[in-house]
Amino acid sequence: MRKWTAYALTSVAALGLSAGLAAAQDYTIGLSNGWVGSEWRTQMIDEAQAAAEAWSERGVDVEVLVQSANVDVPGQIAHVRNFISQGVDAIIINPNSPTAFDPVFAQAKEAGILVISTDAEVSSPDAMYVGIDQKGWAEASAKWLAEALEGKGKVVAINGVAGHPANQMRVAGYQEVFSGYPDIEIVNEVNANWDQAQGQQAMQNLLATYPDIDGVWVQDGMAAGAWRSIMDAEKTGEIAATGEIRKDFIDLWVENDFTSGASVNPPGVMASALNVAVFLLQGRELAEPADAGQYGNALYLPIPFIDGGNVEEAAAELDGKPGYYSYTSQLSIDEAEELFK
């Protein structure tokens, strides 16, 4: 196990390891997931573990230690402290807060441990972010919805977990887009905690209160439930609504010809972060600094988009997968290496 002793987002060559090092290498990486309320998170961990195993073909032994549970912010901080005590080389975290981890990430840096967040950005200068731009994710689907409505109409929004950093950025994204369309009115915004059943109930309640809505901006994890309420109300042909990337929903979408569009936040983001982490641990230097995002420490990944033009292709890619499986993508080892000098 090697300690990562000189952490810098723009220059990480201080370990003295050359890019062509042929000797066997071994790293231990801690994976922290503080919420297990969806199969998406399970798939995220599974894909990261598979990415770690793939490194063996390059003579690199990557062991992953997983802490995945429903915990509050102090509980997830305890995850990080446990990893520090175990002497891991790197920590990859899907964080429950954008700011609360600053002190413990500083402790990790002091211990020579690389920290990467994924799925949600963090403010710590001692961590970097590898994942999609959650605000951009929301902006893409909100723009699709605005255009589907030809720039006018009444819209409701069904959001995820209140206060979660990814949810906050998504809300900011769609609100900014809709503010540019003066004839689009957001008549209500509710939270359904990324839960399909809660999303279905929320949509049922909204339709009872606002039977004349034209559009629904709903986050993944809840869109299938929202669309079932739209179908139950026999408004499938009257309402445009965003969708999600699970196989069961995409099959439903194709079968019923929904007017839908979905930005893809792939479960493979943690696997992408792991592949980037290994190259950093080897002392490789990013060709471009990870300085994007609101905190200036982000390396953004591409955001795929599914709409009526390519939904059948997405359905074909998911053929044979279980219903809960999400359409995904990740940086392969070779693709991750292209980010480095």
Instruction: Report the side by side order of strands in the sheet with 25-33.
Output: 60-68, 25-33, 90-94, 114-117, 128-131, 298-300
Q: Where are the domains of the chain?
A: 25-131+266-302+328-337, 134-263
Architecture per CATH, 134-263: 3-Layer(aba) Sandwich (3.40)
Q: Are 301 and 338 in contact (CB under 8 A)?
A: no
Give, as one character, the DSSP assignment of residue 262. Answer: E
Which residues neighbour 166 within 8 Å (Cβ) at sequence distance 6 or greater? 119, 120, 134, 160
Which residues neighbour 163 within 8 Å (Cβ) at sequence distance 6 or greater? none
Angle made by CA atoms 274, 275, 280, in degrees to the nearest 5? 90
Which contiguous run of DSSP H or E holds residue 269? helix 269-281
- Quick one: pLDDT at residue 246? 93
- C-alpha 24, offset from chain centre: 32
Q: What is the pTM of this model?
A: 0.87
pLDDT at 3 over 80: no
- Quick one: pLDDT at residue 65? 98
- Ranges of beta strands (E only) in the chain are 25-33, 60-68, 90-94, 114-117, 128-131, 152-159, 183-191, 215-218, 240-241, 262-263, 298-300, 305-306
The label of the residue with tokens 């992408």 reads 272
The size of the chain, in residues, is 341
Domains 25-131+266-302+328-337 and 134-263 share a fold: yes
Which residues neighbour 272 within 8 Å (Cβ) at sequence distance 6 or greater? 51, 118, 130, 131, 301, 330, 331, 336
The domain made up of 25-131+266-302+328-337 is a member of CATH 3.40.50.2300 = yes
Q: Using one digit for the tens of pLDDT, what is the confidence trace for 197-250?
A: 999 999 999 999 999 999 999 998 899 999 999 999 999 999 999 999 999 999
Q: Using one digit for the tens of pLDDT, what is the confidence trace for 219-232?
A: 988 999 999 999 99
* Percent of the chain whose pLDDT exceeds 90: 88
